[in-house]
Each structure stands twice: as structure tokens, then as C-alpha cells.
Chain A
Amino acid sequence: MNVDSIKIILIFALSLTSVNSFAGLKDKFKEQQKPKKISQEVLDIRDDINNTWGAIEREGTFYYLMRDGRNNFTIYSDGKIRYKPYLKDVFPLYLVDNKIFVPLTTKIIGKTGTPWKGKTIRCEKKVSFARPAPVGKIDKEGIASFKMEYLGKANSTHKEKLSNYQEFEVNFDTKECYATYKYDKKSVHKCHIANSNEIILNHSFDLPGNLENYIRGIQKNLYLQKKNLETCKVESK
């Protein structure tokens, strides 16, 4: 075997290796492109979460709970400054079958996971939905007394403000609403409760931002989306 033939063999071997590695990457790329399978158990839980919200939205009433804001001022075109009260810290709750549910934002990621009706869901990549957190029931007098202990909700931008509250007392018929602050339990403040129709009709409510976008944002975040669900597992106890 002379030097030239050795060179030819070497070149041939090298080219084979590169073809092989290329084929390997190609296969890997093809594999990557394939949609990853979501387990049936995960899909069942997703359907259950989404059906639950469907039932709450269908059979319940969506309310806004608001607290009185500080006095705000508006400069009118005539140059005068007028003060008017405005309502802030709007957050949603659902009244269904005399029970109050608050959308509690739940993120599933990492080892801990989150329970859903006794089963635990664990996801490697972030998956989020809103849990219908039960906060209270309406009593025989038509009053609902509840503590807002859960700090999350569908629209997490109001998370911090919501945590200022400790206790609520709401009459959904007369729309009377009283609340205490978390760090000032002695003083009681008036709050406001209204459903979406009432809030649009009542112009004295000066809502922050665009109401329509706000509602859409809340409702969109209730449901469990398909994204990253392939990284999830379900464990039964």
C-alpha cells in the first residue's frame, strides 16, 4: 500500500464521518420538528380546568370588587382643577351558586408542581392557569364575609394592591361593601361591588385603563393553554 492509497482511504473515511454527522443533525432536526406528545392524563386535567371555568362563566356572575381611591384631580379645559374620587384596585370575582370564587394565578414549574383535585401536575417549562379559589359563601342574610388571603389572580398586575386587604363584607343585593386593610385592621373602609353592566352604566366609576382590555385579559388567563404542556406529568396520590 503506497502513500497515495493511504491518503485516499483517509479522505474517504473523513468524508464518511462528516456525512454521518450531518445525517445525525438532520435526523435530530427532524425529530425536533415533530410535535411532542402531551400525555392523556395532562390533557384530561386541562379539559377539566377549562370545563370548570366554562361552567363558572356560564352559570356565574362576574363582579368587580373595588376600593375607594384617594382623591384624584382633573384639570379641565377651562383651566379649573376639580377633585373627584376615583376607584382603583379593581379585581374580579365570580359569584356562582351562592359561592365566591376568585381567579388565583397558578404557575406550574419545577419539582414542586401544583395540585388539581387531589392529583399533582409537574411541568419542566412554565405553564399557567387560574385556579378558582373559593373565598366564601353568602349567608342567610345575603351577606358574604370573607378574607382575601390569596394574593394572585388572573391579572397579576394588581397583586400587590390586593394584598392590602384583609377582610370583606359584601351584600350582593344592596351592593354594600366594607373592607379592612391588612396592616390597619382597626379602620373599616367602604368598597364597591358591581357587575360588568352596572359598571359601564355608572359613570361615577372612573376605571383605570381600558375596561374591555382588562376583562379580556382576565378571561384569557383563566384557561390552561396548550403551550409547554408536553413537559408536564400527572401524579396521583
Chain B
Amino acid sequence: MKILIFLTNLLFISIVHSSAFDFENLYKQMNNDLNEVSKEKAKKEDDIRAYCNSLKRLPFTWKEDFAKKNKINVNSIKFAGAIMNKGLYGSYCTVKSSSDIGVCRHSVVFINEVPRILNECR
């Protein structure tokens, strides 16, 4: 009888242990996922850097919008460089322009992987 009780207890303990959540495995899986996220983030940063370095002039349609918004002559808008910056949440690209309103800095945002230079002057 004692053996039977012991075996029942053993079975109960093994069931409890087998149904326990495996936090060690979760720790590993989440680390792997975050490594993937980091790789993806690094790839994104490379794309932003490549775009930033390739910029040599401002798109004409962008110039037209900027001139219209600020009521200035479109011909006064000149490309003054593009630089990569390091922020709290990763790297980002800033484009500089010089025009009748002075020197402006513009953020570059990526919407669905398509770059867009914002025409707000900072």
C-alpha cells in the first residue's frame, strides 16, 4: 500500500513538473528573437546610411513644395549636405538646405521603406 501511495505521489510530482512553464527556454527564445530584431535594425540603418550618402541634390518636386510653403523663389533652394546622426533610438539622416529663408535641417523618414525628406525647417 505504501509503495502504491509513493508511486502515486511520484506520478503527481512528475505531472506538476512537466506542466511547469519552461522559463529557461523562453529566455533563450527571446534572446534569439531580439538578435533578429537587432540584425533587422542594423540592416535598416545600413539602408538609411546608403540613402543619406547617395544624396547629392534635392528632388525638384520637393523644392517646389518647399518654395510654395515658404513663399520663396524655387531657384534659391540649394542642397547643403546630408549627414547621419546618432539618436537615442538609432541612427537617422538629416538633410541640409540653404535658401532665401536661410539654412534649414530636414529629417528623412522612411515610410514602407520609401525615403521621404520632410519639408519642415529646423
Chain A interface residues (CB < 8 Å from chain B): 52, 55-56, 59, 96-97, 99, 101, 110-112, 114-118, 131-134, 137, 150-151, 160, 163
Contacts and interface: CB of A to CB of B under 8 A. Distances in A.
Interface string B19-37: 0010110110111111011
A110 B112 contact: yes
Contacts of A160: 88
Contacts of A101: 27, 30
A151 B89 contact: yes
Interface of B: 21, 23-24, 26-27, 29-34, 36-37, 40, 44, 88-89, 112-113
Please classify the interface of chain A as helix (H, G, I), strand (E, B), loop, or mixed, using the class held by over half of its residues. Answer: mixed
Given A97-B24, A99-B27, A116 B33 contact: yes
Closest 5 CB pairs of A and B: A55-B21, A97-B23, A115-B33, A115-B36, A134-B27
Nearest to A137: B27
B23 to A, nearest CB: 4
Best-buried of B21, B29, B31 by chain A (most CB within 10 Å): B21
Best-buried of B31, B33, B40, B88 by chain A (most CB within 10 Å): B33
A132 B26 CA distance: 9
B88 A133 contact: no
Nearest to B21: A55
Nearest to B88: A163
Given A97-B24, A99-B24, 14 more contacts: A55-B21, A56-B23, A101-B27, A111-B112, A112-B40, A115-B32, A117-B33, A131-B30, A131-B34, A132-B26, A133-B34, A137-B27, A151-B88, A163-B88
A114 B37 contact: yes
A53 B40 CA distance: 25
Nearest to A51: B21
Contacts of A133: 30, 34
Given A115-B33, A116-B33, A52 B26 contact: yes
Contacts of B89: 151, 163
A150 B89 CA distance: 10
Contacts of B21: 52, 55, 59
Given A111-B112, A151-B88, A163-B88, A118 B27 contact: no
B88 A134 contact: no
Contacts of B113: 111
B39 to A, nearest CB: 10
Contacts of A134: 26-27, 30-31, 34
Contacts of A96: 23
Contacts of B31: 134
